[in-house]
Amino acid sequence: MTYSLNWDLDSLFTGGIHSAQLKAKLKQIKTDTAALGDLLDRWDATSDAPKFQQFIKLITQLQAIEAGLAQANLFVSSIGSADIANPDVAPTEDRLRNLETQIQTVSDKLKKVLVQVPDAQFAAMLNLPALQPIAFNLTEMRDAGKELLDDKTENLINQLNLDGKAAWSSHYDSLVATVTVPFHDANGDPVTLSAGQADNNLLGNADPQYRANLLPAWEQAWTDKEQLFADTLNHLAGFRLTEYQAHGVSDFLRAPLKDNRLSAATLKTIWQVVDDNKQFLLDYLDRKAALLGKKHAGWQDVEAPLNLPGSQLHHFTYDEAAAFIIKHYGEFSPKMAVLAQKAFANHWIEAEDRAGKAPGGWMESAPETNESRIFMTFTGSPNDVSTLAHELGHAFHSSVMGDLPYLRQGYAMNVAETASTFGELIVADANVKAATSDAEKITLLNAKMDNPVAMFLNIRARFLFETRFYQLRQQKLVTPAELNELMLNAQKEAFGHDLSTYSPHLWASKLHFYIDDLSFYNFPYVFGYLFSLGIYAKAQQTDNFEDQYIALLRDTANMSSESLAQKHLGVDLTQPDFWLAGVDLIKKDVAEFMRLTDPLVHPTPRA
């Protein structure tokens, strides 16, 4: 089988960025949104009762508009990712953002009309066959509606946001584009890297000396512009806090927890489990340092590859990677294998290794056609195969929800990372098993540790930082020196004071702190990772887990995270037990890594 390395976007809209079909679609969405707004102004619950036919029409219309926008968004961002220099993408994206704001305003209006429906009448509404499947989502919308201010004010906030949070977020991108990192490589030759290149090399370059030379230059580059980044972060957070305050909210974790349908008690338990169970990862980092000839690992070593003699990794062709994923998915779930095969065969994936593409990887679904698109750059490493398996895991999640009402497909970020991590785990484990030498196995296990190290240590530090930053920001503007200190202390705490170097400017270099839609873009990853490990542990003990797994995925936008786990796994997320079962899986990997590397750091004396 020969699969194309390029995707086909024509089934979304024909004709590229200037697509007439896209233009017509956006025009239609605009008209429909305005019409929906008018209908909502006139809607009256009492005269619509008891059948609520008018409301059913309205909510169906809103879902169609939102699905249409998602389809258009995917199309435009796909073109932009595959061709970053395309000058026609930004103006179209701007049109989409404006449209999104209009839809947001109408959606807010719908939330507010729901508040006007008396409780008893609302309960009756939710029992109607047409509305019952989205009962949870409508209840969420009504609850959100209770916190909204009057239409005029909400509209003003949405409009101001375009030059507020959204503007600061895109200003961050502009600033990062000006960052260059000049330094001397391991041979003493001068090199200048862009921020993106430096970031990749800092964590991923195979030469420890190269990484060690790069770290101080990297920190200096952010130091040079730290005031600009501090302004950006302060104003982004300041806008957000003012918005919370206007809605009577003083707890800055409330919205992120709500967005993830997660309780504060569960988050507390997760961090407790992480803090109580990190010693084995610190031991792993010490062992890694020893293999690199050091006493302690530096910041630049924590995710670095290990280049052991004889550890030449298997190089996959794209077709081999596809076959490998389909085969190992199939051992767990035939339906996952079928979906992966479909994604390869139907040109849903852009994987070509060429210049002019955006970095990174992502999956987005196309709700109107129940398809997905996956973006990545495939170079043939086992890591790329894992990335592909990760994105296909996301695609599987979307595909099993494709027949549900659009509102019921709106799963949150924490559970979004569940199916992806799950897909990745299946393939990463298969990679380790397929290794033909100890050296190769060590290299692959080391790569597999990137996730737990990121989740338990790095992301833990980011959460500690962000919490303390928001506490301080509630009182004052935070200076660059204070931001550096907050970050350094958070890293030392999370990494158990075990590293020889740190990255105090991570608050400036990490994009995740500057996303306008969401703050605390960190704990959902940890949840998703540990949740999928827990499911993976369960899957290995359960026959025919496939149906149970799919049933769980289909409910991911239909209840709280706690109810989801209780209903489909029979576990209580506020207690540590379920999380610890996942931690045990990582511990096994680390134990294997320690066993295999022991002779390398404690060579047996010759007789």
DSSP label of 480: H
Q: How far is the CB of 355 from Zn ion (least distance, A)?
A: 25
Task: Between 260 and 420, name the residue whose CB sits nearer to Zn ion.
Answer: 420
Q: At its nearest, how many Å lie between Zn ion and the CB of residue 521?
A: 12
Give whichever of 102 and 451 is closer to Zn ion, judged by the CB atom. 451
Q: Does 420 bind Zn ion (CB under 5 A)?
A: yes
Of 341 and 420, the one with the shorter C-beta distance to Zn ion is 420
* Structure-block tokens of residue 27: 């025009």
Q: Compute the least distance from the CB of residue 61 to Zn ion, in Å.
A: 31
| Residue 300 interacting with Zn ion (CB under 5 A) | no
Cβ atoms of residues 349 and 343 within 8 Å: yes
Q: Which of residues 378-397 bind Zn ion (CB under 5 A)?
A: none
Q: Which stretch binds Zn ion (CB under 5 A): 159-167, 412-420, 458-466, 586-594?
A: 412-420
Tokens 């359960």 found at: 542
Q: Which two tokens stand for residue 426?
A: 């299946």
Please state, in angstroms and rounded to a whole number, the distance separating the CA atoms of residues 575 and 259. 21
Of 110-118, 135-143, 260-268, 413-421, the window that binds Zn ion (rule: CB under 5 A) is: 413-421
Nearer to Zn ion, 198 or 374 (CB): 374
Residue nearer to Zn ion on the CB measure, 288 or 397 = 397
Give Cα 246 distance to the centre of its chain: 28
Q: Report the 10 Å Cβ neighbour count for 113.
A: 18
CB 208 to Zn ion: min, Å: 29
**Which residue number is nearest to Zn ion in terms of Cβ?**
420
- Closer by beta carbon to Zn ion, 55 or else 375: 375
Would you list the DSSP string of 76-115?
HHHHHHH-TT-TTHHHHHHHHHHHHHHHHHHHHHHHHHHH
Q: Do the bridges between strand 190-194 and strand 180-184 make them parallel or antiparallel, or are there none, so unpaired?
A: antiparallel
Region from 116-124, 312-320, 350-358, 416-424 binding Zn ion, contact rule CB under 5 A: 416-424
Other residues' Cβ atoms within 10 Å of the Cβ of residue 497? 11
Q: Is 315 left (phi over 0), alpha (psi -120 to 50) or beta?
A: beta
Pairing of strands 349-350, 371-375: parallel
Interface segment toward Zn ion; rule CB under 5 A; list 327-335, 414-422, 441-449, 463-471: 414-422
Which tokens hold the place of 591?
């134990």
d(CA 288, CA 319): 33
**Smallest distance from the beta carbon of 247 to Zn ion, in angstroms?**
30
Q: Which of the ranges 157-165, 234-242, 415-423, 572-580 carries the binding residues for Zn ion, by CB under 5 A?
A: 415-423
Q: What is the nearest approach in angstroms of Zn ion to the Cβ of residue 419?
A: 9
| Least gap, CB of 323 to Zn ion (angstroms) | 23
Smaller CB distance to Zn ion: residue 277 or 398?
Answer: 398
Q: How many residues bind Zn ion (CB under 5 A)?
A: 1
In the bound state with Zn ion, the residue whose beta carbon lies nearer, of 114 and 363, is 363
Which C-beta is closer to Zn ion: that of 92 or that of 420?
420
Of the candidate spans 57-65, 402-410, 419-427, 561-569, the one that interacts with Zn ion by CB under 5 A turns out to be 419-427
Distances (CA, A) of 100 to 64, 119, 166, 224, 425: 13, 30, 12, 36, 35
In 295-392, the DSSP E strands lie at 349-350, 362-366, 371-375
Q: How many CA atoms lie within 13 A of 105 on its CB side?
A: 25
Closest distance to Zn ion from the beta carbon of 361 (Å):
8
Stretch binding Zn ion (CB under 5 A), from 234-242, 417-425, 447-455, 574-582: 417-425
When the beta carbons of 213 and 420 are compared against Zn ion, the nearer one is 420
Cis peptide before 382 (omega within 30 of 0): no
Q: CA–CA separation, 548 vs 299, rounded Å? A: 41
Is residue 365 at the binding interface for Zn ion, with CB under 5 A as the rule? no
* First-last CA distance in the chain: 54
Phi then psi for residue 363, to 5 deg, are -130, 135
Q: Least separation, in Å, of the C-beta of 454 and Zn ion?
A: 13
Residue where the block lists tokens 């060579």? 603
What's the min distance (Å) between Cβ of 92 and Zn ion? 25
Residues at the contact surface with Zn ion, assessed by CB under 5 A: 420
